[in-house]
């Protein structure tokens, strides 16, 4: 029986690329899904971040207690994927620009949170921080204040989810981040050099490059890792397969 249980755990790990982050009273489990979408498990809490790519990609994952949505674009607020999931007992956390687009009868609750706000929900401490493009212009793809990056605290660990952002001062000013998910895709967010420079300044213990497919294809995350290893060698860069079809 022990060997069979170990085999099931191993198969699950290989299927979802699950990582485990030691935390208070248990591990935080990280499951990359696709692009900017991931699942975070801690104790009895499951968080889906920007569900995208179709509900079938979440088959085998625990049902979501919380869904975090960062922005209005279809690779973040993907209503087709949301509609394919049973979220009737789920709390959706989103900026107001997303919340106003969500159907009101499909979720247990919709909680609106804006930049600078912090809320404790289902045992998770969730803080919304800015994500935006530079320079700030009227036609910006991601104007300041519309979308949220998030810092989620679980088991004493701070997890930063960048959403779609450029190399903004609010990201560089972060402190005490244990795990960071940092985007890098042109022309929508920032390039590899900007992302590596920012990470080298705020120095998370672990960083995952994610959301790195853009108009020019896949960003060079190996180069990102090389740059971070050179300028901030104590930061662990974890490369995962966010695009299994490639």
Pick the CATH number of 18-237 from 3.60.15.10, 3.40.309.10, 3.40.50.150, 1.10.3720.10: 3.60.15.10
pLDDT band at 17 (very low <50, low <70, confident <90, very high): low
Which tens digits make up the pLDDT trace of 55-70?
A: 999 999 999 999 999 9
- Summarised one tens digit per residue, pLDDT across range 144-190 is 999 999 999 999 999 999 999 999 999 999 999 999 999 999 888 99
Prior bond of 135 cis (ω within 30°): yes
103-123 tens-digit pLDDT: 999 999 999 999 999 999 999
In which band, very low, low, confident or very high, does the pLDDT at 16 lie, cut at 50, 70 and 90?
very low
**Cis check: omega of the bond before 63, within 30 degrees of 0:** no
pLDDT tier for residue 46 given thresholds of 50, 70 and 90: very high
**Whole-structure pTM value:** 0.91
CA distances from 62 to 65, 118, 164, 168 (A): 9, 25, 26, 34
CB atoms within 10 A of CB 227: 19
- Predicted pLDDT at 139: 77
pLDDT of residue 219: 95
Domain ranges of the chain: 18-237
């Amino acid at each position: 029986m022990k060997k069979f249980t170990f085999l099931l755990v191993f198969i699950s790990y290989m299927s979802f690329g699950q990582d485990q982050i030691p935390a208070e009273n248990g591990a935080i489990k990280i499951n990359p899904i696709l692009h900017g979408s991931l699942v975070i498990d801690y104790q009895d809490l499951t968080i889906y971040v920007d569900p995208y790519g179709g509900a079938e990609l979440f088959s085998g994952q625990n049902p979501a207690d919380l869904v975090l949505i960062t922005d209005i674009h279809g690779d973040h607020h993907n209503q087709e994927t949301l509609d394919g999931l049973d979220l009737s007992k789920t709390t959706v956390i989103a900026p107001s620009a997303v919340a106003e687009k969500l159907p009101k009868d499909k979720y247990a609750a919709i909680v609106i949170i804006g930049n600078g706000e912090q809320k404790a929900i289902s045992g998770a401490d969730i803080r919304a921080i800015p994500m935006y493009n530079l320079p700030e212009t009227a036609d910006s793809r991601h104007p300041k204040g519309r979308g949220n990056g998030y810092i989620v605290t679980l088991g004493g660990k701070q997890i930063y989810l960048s959403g779609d952002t450029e190399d903004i001062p609010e990201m560089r000013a972060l402190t005490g981040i244990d795990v960071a998910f940092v985007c890098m895709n042109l022309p929508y967010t920032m390039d590899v050099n900007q992302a590596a420079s920012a990470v080298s300044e705020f120095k998370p213990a672990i960083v995952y490059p994610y959301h790195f497919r853009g108009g020019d294809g896949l960003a060079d995350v190996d180069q990102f890792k090389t740059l971070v290893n050179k300028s901030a060698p104590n930061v662990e860069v974890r490369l995962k397969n966010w695009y299994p079809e490639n």
